[in-house]
Each structure stands twice: as C-alpha cells, then as structure tokens.
Amino acid sequence: MSSSENFAARLAFRGSTADQPPISAQLATLRHLKRFFAQVWRTSAPLTVASIVLRLLSAVQPLLLLYVAKLIIDEVVLQTRQPSPGADLQDWIASGRLVPVAELLALEFALVVAADLLARGISLVDAILAELHSNTVSMELMQHAASLDLRHFESSEYQDRLERARRQAAGRNALLAQIFGQGQSVLTIVSLAAGLLFYAPWLILLLLVSLIPAMVSEAKFNTRSYFLNRMRSPERRELEYLRYIGASAETAKEIKLFGLGPFLVGRFRRMADTIMRDNRRLATQRAIWGGLFAALSSMAYYGAYAYIVWRTVDGQFTLGDLAFLSGSFLRLNGLFGQLLIGVTQIAGQSLYLDDLFSFFDIKPTIALSPNPKPFPQPIREGILFENVGFRYPDTERWAVRGLNFTLNAGEALALVGENGAGKTTIVKLLTRLYDPDEGRILIDSVDLRDFAVEDLRSHIGVIFQDFIRYSFTAAENIGVGRIDAGVDRERIRIAAEQSLAAGVIEKLPLGYDQPLGKLFANGRDLSGGEWQKVAIARAYMRDAELIILDEPTAALDAKAEAEVFQRFKGLAKGKTAVLISHRFSTVRMADRILVLSGGRVIESGSHEELIANRGVYADLFELQAAGYR
C-alpha cells in the first residue's frame, strides 16, 4: 500500500482515530473562542455592538411575520364566512370590513421592509468588521513574527506553523459571522418554539432527535478535515514554493534556460493530485452521510406536517394556525439543523483557531536583561569572544567552539575561511540573533546579554550577502537602515554617496522617488551590483558604532568592490568594523585578519604578517592570485 493510501486509510470514516486527540482535547480548543471574540472586540467595539444589536432585532422577525400571516389568513376566512356587503370594492370599503386586513397587510409590509433593511445592515457591518479584523490579525501576526528569534525562522516545523497561522489570519473571518449568526438563530428558535410549545410540545423533541445524528456526523467530518489539512501542511508549503518558482520574475530566466517548466508542472501535479484524492475521498464520504441524515430530518418534518394537517382537518386548528405552525415548524427544522451543525462547525473552526493562537503563544528564546545597560558610545575597549561555542538548533555539529579573539575599538577586522568555517555564525552571535551555548561575548567588558536587544542592534550596522531587495522607492530602500529616523532625505542622500549608490539613483527617471523592482507598476529593476550599493547605503544610514559587511559586494566586479571597500575604510575611521569577503585583494585592506577553520581561529595578523608566516592564509592567497595570472 502506498504512503498516500495509508494516509487515506487512517482517515476512513470507521477507521482508527488514534492520530486525532481525544474529544476532551478537541473541546478544549473551544477556549480559543474567547480569545477570538476579544480580538474582534479589540478590532472595533462599536461595530461589534452594532452587529449584535442588529441581529437581536432580526431574530424576532420570523416569528412576527408568521404570526401576522396567521392573523391575515384567519381574518380572510372570517370575512368569507360572512355575507358580502356588495359586489364592488367601494361597498367593502364603505362597510369597514377591510380595515383589519389592510392594517395587517401594512404591518406585514413594514416587517418585510424592516427585515430587508436589517439583513443589509448586518451584511454591511459584518463585511467591514471582517476586513478590519483580517487586517488586525495580519498586523498582530507580523508584529509577533518580528519578535521571535532567528532559530524559529530556520526551523521547518516553525515554517509549517507560520504557514498555518498565515492562512488562519485571513481565513477565519467567516467564523465571526457564524458565531453571531448562531446567537441570532438561538433567539429565533426560542421565539418560534414558544409558539409550538403552546400547540404541540413533542414536535420540538422530534426535531432534536432527528437532527442529532447529523450533528455527530458533521462534528466528525469537521475534525477529520482539520487534521487532514494539518498533516498536509509541509506538502502545501511545498506547493506554494513550486507556484512561486514556477511563475516568478526572479526565477523566470533560469527556468527557461534549463527548461524546468515541465518538470515543475509535473511535480506540482503529482503532489496536488495526492492532496486532491484525500480531499475528494473525504468530501464524498461527507456528502453520502450528510444526504442520509438530511433524508431522516425531512421524514421527521413531513411526519410533523402531516400531524398538523390532520389536526386542522379535524377542526382543532384554524387555517391560520396551520399556516403559522407549518411555517414555524419548517423554519425551526432549518434553524435546528443550522444550529446543531453550526455548533459542530464552530468547534471545528476552533481547531483552526488553535493554529493561529498557538503561533501567538510561541515565545522568544533570547533572554532579555531585566536591568539592561546602555550600549557604549563610542566603543572604547573593544569586543571580546571568550571561549565561545555554538551549535545551531537540532544539530550535533558545533558551528564554532573554543573561539577566542579580540576586536579592538576602532579596528577593521577581516574574517577569512572556507564555507562553513564560522564567519557568518560569528556575525549572528555578535548581533544576538543567537546566544552562544558556551562562553560569552563582551563589549567594553559588558556581556552582550546585559544589553537590551533593541539597543544593541540599533548600534550595529549589518549588511548580509542575501540582503532584501525591497519593492519600495530608492529612498525607502536606503531609509530602512534607520527606520526610526523616518524618510530623512538629506541623511539618505549622504548614505547613498558614501556607498556609491548616488550615481545609480540619479540615473533613475524619478531619482530617489523611483520604485525599485518589477513587482509593482512603474518599478525599475537594478543590476546585482547596483542593488548591493543601495543595500550598503543602509549600513551608512545607520551610522552605527559597529559596522559589519558580510560579503555584501559579491555581485560587484573586483574594481568596484575595491572602490567600495576603500571608501568604507575611509568612512569607518574611528568606528569598529568587521569585513567578510572571499576576495583577498579586499581583505588585505583590513587592519587585522582572522583565518577561521572548523569554528576556531587558526591564524591572526595583518596581510603582510600572514603572507610572511606562509601558513593557510598564504596558501589561499596564492591560490586566488594564481587565477589572475
């Protein structure tokens, strides 16, 4: 049996539910409804109140309409049993016998108009509230994601949870109307049931008994549908990835050159078909069982309807009573079904809310100092790595261990080593994207963990090789380097000149107001080297005490890179800097060079000293230099 067939078998209607939590655990997710309602209230209390009030008014409309219709029928029957006052309408009007019917018709008309206005008002309020709520949840989701640690973003399990939370951020708006609609249905049921209780109380019990199987079935299928979606989260995330690389401006060139279109389509089709088969099997079973239970409900309704007709023929009910009772019973039958099934759907939706709120319950692991110390301005002593060791989460290999070195204040330090030597890990530790598992990092004799994280990072300017190309204006692309300064054009212009991005931007049709990238209308894309100059401007925009460039000039040619680093060295005077580059022509500009291997420092010194030592650095330099001969 294939893996997909095994998966489907576990979800068979009469199959094992060992992969699902017990009913008590599923019911426990209903606690999220309180958080959900609090979130809705926080979105807009006035709109929430308006929706509730409109539904309260709308809840009694069905009873009033049915009762007025009964009175109209009874009045008409009464008039038909009396002698006619004349053959013309004028005779009827003159007799005054049409006044009660006319008043009742006017009242019914007013109720119909009011019901329509209430329904439109509810739709309007719910639509506005749903959109506001979706925006609120999306913003809270982004805020919470921004507060989490890098380790979360580098975990596939976290990515699955984030993907599920993203879907729920925009996908639970129907639940809002559903909950309020259930409350409205309850009030309508109470009002209609009061009438039925007066005539035939046992009919209500008949309705409940006939609908319980449908409720149980719906609850079971809602739960299975949720767990089917949950278990398929990794596959759905891969489908989104395939959609992106298969139809994206960033990937189009390589997709065409390598002829990857059919391969990606085929892979997408196979995965999508597997998911579709599981969904189709579940939907088919749901439709079959739902049809059977709907038939049972219809039998109960027509049995009760036959009873009401018999009582009317027997003379115990009037024709108005027949219309009122049959209408009430028909409406109650539908409302009971909606209510009982709706309750199970809300319980099912609460499972999806668990995806959203469990994401909000994830806490950062970077410990915050209760009494943070101010970051030194400027750095006077330097930075000390003292026996630092670190392993990435869920790995056994040490990225760095026994790492000891000092970065003196005002010094430009270059890090050199093969891929995986620990260069970027040092940057991540220095910026507290991670905390070391062993040892400590000191800045001016203060442990990094004793600074407030926001304060620490605000004094460090970092540009990575995989920097983001924001689809913002050129000014905003630089301004994100010091977002709290706002769009300070003069500061942005100076940063652009320092990074050599000014010449690139001045050639754009709209200059600093030019949208960059091809994602939005009127956007202009830049070359890789031009983008890197814009990104480096963000580090200058920050005007930080510590500047780190982690191979941000990889897309520049050797001459352009040398020019950028020459400018950087001049502008970084008096500041502490860390440079990472594979080009030794650039590295040699640093005051001191550390050679890393296996997460340890194996050589240290200036370019000239390391060449004279004829060690690893000299060998690497000679290898690279030979390529230019």
- Domains delineated in the chain: 24-360 (1.20.1560.10), 369-459+544-629 (3.40.50.300), 468-537 (no CATH)
Residue 486 CA to its chain's centroid (Å): 27
- What pLDDT score was predicted for residue 555? 59
Q: What is the pLDDT of residue 405?
A: 93
List the chain residues with pLDDT less than 50. Answer: 1-25
Q: Nearest 5°: phi and psi at 46?
A: -60, -45
Nearest to 115 by CA among 331, 321, 301: 331
Query: For residues 124 and 118, what is the distance between their CA atoms, to the nearest angstrom?
Result: 10
The burial class, CB within 10 Å (0-12 / 13-18 / 19+), for 584 is buried
- Are 430 and 457 in contact by the 8 Å Cβ rule? The answer is no
Prediction pTM value: 0.63
DSSP alpha helices (H): ranges in 361-382?
none
pLDDT value of residue 65: 86
Q: In this structure, what token pair is assigned to residue 53?
A: 């009030």
Residue 373 contacts residue 446 (beta carbons within 8 Å): yes
pLDDT of residue 523: 85
Two structure tokens written together for 124:
């309007």
Do 318 and 312 form a contact (C-beta atoms < 8 A)?
yes
pLDDT confidence of residue 486: 67
Residue 258 pLDDT: 65
Nearest to 180 by CA among 49, 62, 60, 64: 49
pLDDT of residue 502: 92
Q: Residue 15's pLDDT is what?
A: 37
Half-sphere exposure of 151 (CA within 13 A, CB side): 16
Rounded Cα distance between 245 and 40, Å, is 36
| pLDDT (0 to 100) of residue 274 | 83
If you count them, how many residues does the chain have?
Answer: 629
Cα–Cα distance measured from residue 617 to residue 596, given in angstroms and rounded to the nearest whole number: 10
In angstroms, rounded to a whole number, what is the distance separating the alpha carbons of residues 462 and 552? 9
CB 176 within 8 A of CB 129: yes
Residue 515 β-bridge partners: 473
DSSP string, 56-85: HHHHTHHHHHHHHHHHHHHHHHHHHTSPPS
Strands 592-597 and 412-416: parallel
Considering only CA atoms, which of 565, 525, 560, 573 is closest in space to residue 549? Answer: 565
Nearest to 347 by CA among 21, 602, 575, 88: 21
Q: What is the CA radius of gyration of the chain?
A: 36
Instruction: Return d(Cα 179, Cα 195) in angstroms, integer.
Output: 25
